[in-house]
Structures are given as C-alpha cells and as structure tokens.
Structure 1
Amino acid sequence: MYKSRNPVLLSAALLASGLFWGCAAKEDAVRYEYAVISRGTVENTISATGTLDVEARVTVQAPATGIVEALYADYNSPVKKGQIIAEVNTAANPVQKQITAVYSPMDGFVLDRTVNVGSAILGRGSPAATTLFTLAPGLAMLKITASIGETDIASVREGQEVRISLQSLAGRKFTGNVSSIHLMPAITDNVVSYTVIIGLNNTDGSLLPGMTCVLQFVQAKEENVLVVPNAALRFAPAGEAPAVPASSSAGSAGSSVSAVTNALTGGKAGGGGNPFGHPTGGTSYAGGDTNQGEPDKTAAAMEVKTEKTLWYTDDSGKLDSVQVYAGTSDGLRTVVRPAEEGVNLEGLRIILREAE
C-alpha cells in the first residue's frame, strides 16, 4: 500500500540539505590579502664594498744619499708647495756638514712619515731610494676603490650616482659619483672583476682614509610611477572561487570592492564588473600609462617589456585580471604600466596572496 511521505520531514530534510550546501559554499570561499596600486619611487641598485682613500699620494725623497739632519713636518702637518720639510746631511764624511734641503712638491698635508732624525737614507738616484714622507692633497675630496664583477660592470658608467654608507658612521648617508672605470680586469681564481673609482665630497672631514664603505650603484631610478608589491606579480589563483576580503593595505577587511570601483572610475565601471574605465584628462604615455603629469624618470627602464598578470576581484566578488608591463624593481616593489592603452591602474585593489 502506497504511503505518502511526511511533508514536515521532507521540508526539514530539504532545509538541512540547503544549510549544509550553504555552509560548504561559505567554507569553499577563498579569502585574499590585497594591496592598492599607488605611485612611488623605485630604484634598482648594484651592491658592492669599497675602501676610502685620498685622491692622490705623492712620495717625497731626498735628492741625495745621507743622514736626516732635521724634520720640519710630521703626521697630519699641513704643507705648502716649496716649503722645507726636511734637511739631509749629504757629506761623505758624517762629521762634516753638507746640508741639502728637502722641499714639499705640493700643497696638502703629511699622510705618513717614514724616517726620524739621524736615519740613514738613500737619495733619488738610488734604485732603492728612501721615502721620507707621503703627502696627500687634502681630505675635502676622497675616492673609493671598489671591485665590480663582470656580470654587473656593464651597468656601471662614469658619472653614475653611488649611495655610500659606513658602519663606523651608522645612520649617515653619503653620495658620490663614478669617476673612472679601469678597463684592465683583475682575474682571481677565474673570477673576473674591474676596478671602479668613486669620488665624493668630504668637506666636514668626517670620512678618513682606510674606512670600509657599503656602496649602492643606482642602476635605474623611476619617480612618480605606478608600483606594486612583487607578491602581486607572483600570485596566480588555483581557481575562480568567490573572494571574501581578508585584509588590505589601504583599508579594512570589510571594505567594499564596489566602493573602490566607483572611486576608480567615477561610477562608470566597464562591463562585467571590470573597474577599468577610460579616464578623462591626463596624458597617455608609452605602455598605456595615464597620468596628470609626465613621470620624472632618470632611467629608461621599460625598454624591454615583460608582460605580467595582476589579479583583482570585481563588484560581484569574482576573480578578474589585467595585463601589465613590469619594469624597474628594487626587490620588493616593481614599476608597472598597463599593457593596453586607456586602462587606469592607479587605485586598483589587487590580490597579493590567499589569506591564511
């Protein structure tokens, strides 16, 4: 005999099934961490170490062999060109006196003294002539000698800006410029490197010869450009699951995607929830970048275009993407420009990674 099913039990079963499906769908939703595309400055640098030294060293020798009779200069003494800085008794018989003066060949100061009164010395005519003093032109301008590997030397050029820091002067930053690049390579254990000389100003005298420096050669620098965290360029979704906002560097976890969309496009979003509109005003630049003013760039970093994908969520919470050209990177952030003209990236909230 046929018995009808209990409508109450059937309704309860359907309701339970619906609740279970809803919970499962909610559990399957993927939460993301976001960042907002904004403007900034990005630099690409080459790191190296170097040693401070005076611009030039001049050794002073006596004109003839003899005994040092007197010294008129010492360590750090300032000297003038033509000043007598030592006297040497050049008589064959030391008991006799035949005094020969030693003059400073330049303006500067005494960097080193290697003799004392009474020292026997060999004059300039000897193959092993004795150095009495080492002079330097001063400390107002110094140089740094650095060794750059063959893989990086092509990115170093004369006049290039170099950022300088020293452990002995923590917190202070100095700036110099490449003054010369030695073309003769140094080869050690099959490793090729080149000597690079950097000049820098030391008017306050805080830098001393022999100090070790950490150098950053500014290879490329772009200012007032659109930048994104490198994590955004690495992100690729496993599937197009509905997104649940987790956190954002520009707002709270519960901020509305549609609010960002309206702010970007003035309430005129493209079809399908795409927040990219055609902005009014501004000037269009290579790569589709649109700006209210020409970005101030000191390096043409976009000569080689590398296309990447940035992911975001549209008004309905669905995943969508936009193609960009990636440019200069400092290891943490990268300059981006839209791959298509008319696309406005600034202010777009992009996905960095799935939230834990």
Structure 2
Amino acid sequence: MKKRNKKYLVVLVVVVVIAGLSFFFLNSRSGEPEYSISTVPVERGSVNNVITATGTLEATNTVVVGTQVSGVIEKLYVDFNSRVEKGQLIAELDKSTLLSSLQTAQADLERAQANMEYQKSNLDRNKGLYEKGLLAKSDYDLVVFNHKTSCAEVKSAEANLSRAERNVSYASIYSPIDGLVLNRAVEEGQTVAASMNTPELFTITNDLSTMQVEANVDEADIGMLKLGQRVEFTVDAFSELTFEGEVSEIRLQPNESANVITYITIITVENPEFKLKPGMTASITVYVEEANDVLLLAEKATRFTPDMQLLHGYMSQLKGEEEQTAENGERPSPPRKGMNQEEDGKTVVWVKSGDDIRPVAIETGIDNGSDMEVLSGLEEGDLVVTSLTLSDGSKSFKKSKDDDQKSPFIQERPGGGKSGGGPGGPPPM
C-alpha cells in the first residue's frame, strides 16, 4: 500500500513539474509581440489607362439627294438598301410641263432670230439712205436701236431655251456616289416643290465596310486624347462582341449641354461583316496609355511606410535576437520622406528578402490606380511589403513621450536616459 502511494506521489510530482515548465515557457513567449506582414509579388503583365465615352455610329460619307425642279415623282428606280453606282438613274419626275416650257423657249428663240434678221436688213437699207442724206438722223437712230434690241432678244431667248433644257435634265435624278440607299423620302405620284430648300428624295451613303463613331468626350478627358490611339467599343445589338477602331479626328468646337462641355471625337471603324449599322449607340473605351509584358506592382505597395520601431522589432524577431545588430553592414534605413515618399524623383518601396526588409527606390511608368508599371529598381518575383502590423491590427507600439523622437536605427549610448544614470537599453517594445 505504501509503495502504491509512493508511486502516485512521483507521478503527481512529474505532472506538476511539466505543468510548471509549460506555464513558464508560455508566459515567457507571451511577452514577445506577434506581427502580421502582407506582401505582393512583382509580376509581368499588361497595364493601361483608359477613358470612357459614348457615341453614335455613322457612315463616313452621306449624301442627301434632292431635286432642283418642282414636279410629280413619275418613277422610282431604287428603294431602301439598294446598291447604286455613281451616275445611275434613280428617279424621274413628270416631264410634260417641262417639255412644254422647252418648246415655248424654242419658239421664242426662233421668233427672236427672225426679228433680228429683219432688223438687220432694215438697218442695211436705211444706212444707205442715211449716207445719201435721204433719211433723217433721228429715223436712222431708231433703226439702229431696233436692230440692237432684236440682237438682245435673241440672246435672252437662247438663255431661256438653255434653262428649259436644263430643267428637263433635272427631272432625271442620278446617284452622285457609289453606295447604298439608306433612306427613300418620297413615293411615286408625290408632288415635290423646289423652293428655298431642296426637297429630299434619297439619303445615300458610301460603302459601310468602313464607318465612324462620333463620340462626345468630356472636357476633363480631352487633353489625354491623341490621333491614332486604340479604341474598343460595344453596341447593344452585339453585347458579347468587342469592336476596335482608332481616333482619327479631334474637333475643337465645344458642345455644351446642361453646363457640361464635351468635344466631338471621330473614331474610324472597320466593318467587314456589316454588323454595325448607322445610328447604333456605342460604349467606347479609349486606351490613352498601354504597355504589354512589363513588370507590374500593386499601387498600394507605394503607399506603405513602416513604423520604424515596429519594423525593428519584427526584423529582430526574424533573426532570433533581442536587439537587431548590424550584421554584414546591413541595416534598414528610414525613408527620407513620409507617405508616398520619393527619392530623387523615384518612388520608395519596401522589399522583403529572407529575413531582411529594405527600402528600394524604383522608377514607375503607367499607373492606372490599381497597378503600375515598374521601369527600374525591381525584378520579377520580388516581394514588396504592403502592410506591417501587430497581430491585433496596431500599426505601431504605444510610445512614451521620451520615445517620440527616438529612431530604432540609432543605437543607445551607455548611460542613456535623461539623467544619464544607467546603461541605455533597447527601445521599448
């Protein structure tokens, strides 16, 4: 019985010792802060800056065909969507009234020519009498006047005949270009009146294999546009497709609507399959800057500036030291500036390499607000720090007033302190 009790006592002692040691080690580890660090890798990819706008698809060249004479539409030879060639007869007006005017003009010319011949003969006869003194000067002057008047009447009749012939030719309507009939505005038998405004008969466009988008670009974005920039756009009719074009014209005339200023920008578009139609609304994306197969870094990495005391403690813990030493002459140095710090025109980021975190000055290119192009300073695969905090989310240790201006990168001298009484210690953790 005594042996059994002694055995239980030994087991109890062992359990107590183990529990004590566990408690001791747990308490000793609990004094060390826990850190949370986030990094992003430098990767290869594409980056771009874009602006967006809306616009309307239009044919590159549209001609409105009208008539220069009044009359009744007698015959239409083309309809909507008809393909036409330049010089092709597409409509005719009733010519009966115009032909009557032409015949009248011809008769008037013949009468004027006969009268001119008579007045010419009369002038020749009276000229001889006048030269012999057998005709008074006033009578001779009248004969000369009548002859000149008859000559003017002939010219007027010739002009009227030419006008009548031209009006007859105007009754035949021909296509001015090769293209496609977009609109037919009249019907056979309809009367059209040519007055101050030419009546519209047809709207003809050139080949729709090439079209254009007339986009309205906001004044805040117009300064970024350049000729030749790549454009992508979609239309509701083919929402699953993306069409491409390029900026071909930037007009200087501003348009104002509801106190908003926009500028018309023309985008040339190829339409080989004729899916795009005039009048479609296009949602446009203009690539004002773009680069492919370049080094990319998340933009948030450039906004990270570590708390120096927190960084010192984290690196000390990584190296398993109570206080970080300057092994191999390497020691992180604080940035020269604060948030969004720059050094000699370059952005400073913090790179994690093994047990070391060091500041690196980089040169950046295109920045779209999410990712940025890295021109120099980093290599593919580098890990760049975006945050360093304590496990509870704190971004720094709580500092005393004496530590406000203290840098963890400056070693304490022996005898440090306000009174110089004792040896200096590491910065408070």
Residue 249 of structure 2 corresponds to which residue in structure 1? 180
Of 12, 17, 37, the match for 2:42: 37
Q: Which amino acid aligns with 1:113?
A: R
Question: In 2 relative to 1, CA 82–42 (structure 1 residues): closer, same or farther, beyond 3 Å?
Answer: same
Counterpart of 1:19? 26
Partner amino acid for 1:326?
T
Matches within 5 A, 1:1-356: 16=23, 18-25=25-32, 28-92=33-97, 100-123=171-194, 126-238=195-307, 239-240=310-311, 241-242=313-314, 272=330, 307-316=346-355, 319-338=357-376, 343-353=377-387
- The share of aligned pairs that are identical, in percent, is 29
Instruction: Name structure 1 gaps, 5 residues minimum.
Output: 1-8, 244-255, 257-269, 275-304
How does the TM-score come out when normalised to structure 1? Answer: 0.70
Instruction: Please say which structure displays the higher CA radius of gyration.
Output: 2
Higher helix share: 2
Q: Structure 1 residue 42: deviation in Å? A: 1.3
CA distance in 1, matches of 2:189, 2:352: 86
Gaps of 5+ in 2: 1-15, 102-167, 319-327, 333-343, 394-429
How many Å apart are 1:273 and its aligned residue?
8.3
Q: How many residues align?
A: 284
Q: Are the equivalent residues in 1 in contact too, given 2:249–2:266 (CA < 8 A)?
A: yes
Counterparts of 2:31 and 2:236 in 1: how far apart (Å)? 57
CA contact (8 A) 2:56 2:280 kept: yes
Q: Give the structure with the larger strand fraction.
A: 1
How far is the alpha carbon of 1:346 from its aligned partner?
Answer: 2.5
Structure 1 residue 197: deviation in Å?
0.4
C-alpha contact (below 8 Å) 1:67/1:120 kept by paired residues: yes
Structure 2 length normalisation: TM-score? Answer: 0.59
Instruction: Measure, in 2, the Cα distance between the counterparts of 1:218 and 1:29.
Output: 45
> How many angstroms apart in 2 are the aligned matches of 1:77 and 1:54?
16
1:214 maps to a residue whose letter is S
Q: Structure 1: which 4+ aligned runs deviate by more than 6 Å? A: 9-15
Deviations 1:301-330 (A, max 9, x none): xxxx963332233422x5433222332023
Distance 1:233 1:171 in 2: 36
Q: Distance in 1 between matches of 2:78 and 2:345?
A: 63
- Counterpart residue type for residue 385 of structure 2: I
CA distance in 1, matches of 2:371, 2:199: 57
Aligned in 2, Cα 1:66/1:177: closer, same or farther, shift over 3 Å? same
- Other structure's SS at 2:386 match: strand
| Distance of aligned partners of 1:181 and 1:347 in 2 relative to their CA distance in 1, 3 Å threshold | same
CA offsets, 1:32-79, max 9 Å, x none? 333211222211111111111111210111231011111111110001
Confirm or deny: 8 A CA contact 2:68 2:198 kept in the other structure: no
1:219-262 CA deviation, whole Å, 9 max, x = no partner? 1122332111222223333532528xxxxxxxxxxxx9xxxxxx
1:309 counterpart SS class:
strand
Instruction: Report if the CA contact (8 A) 1:30-1:242 is conserved.
Output: yes
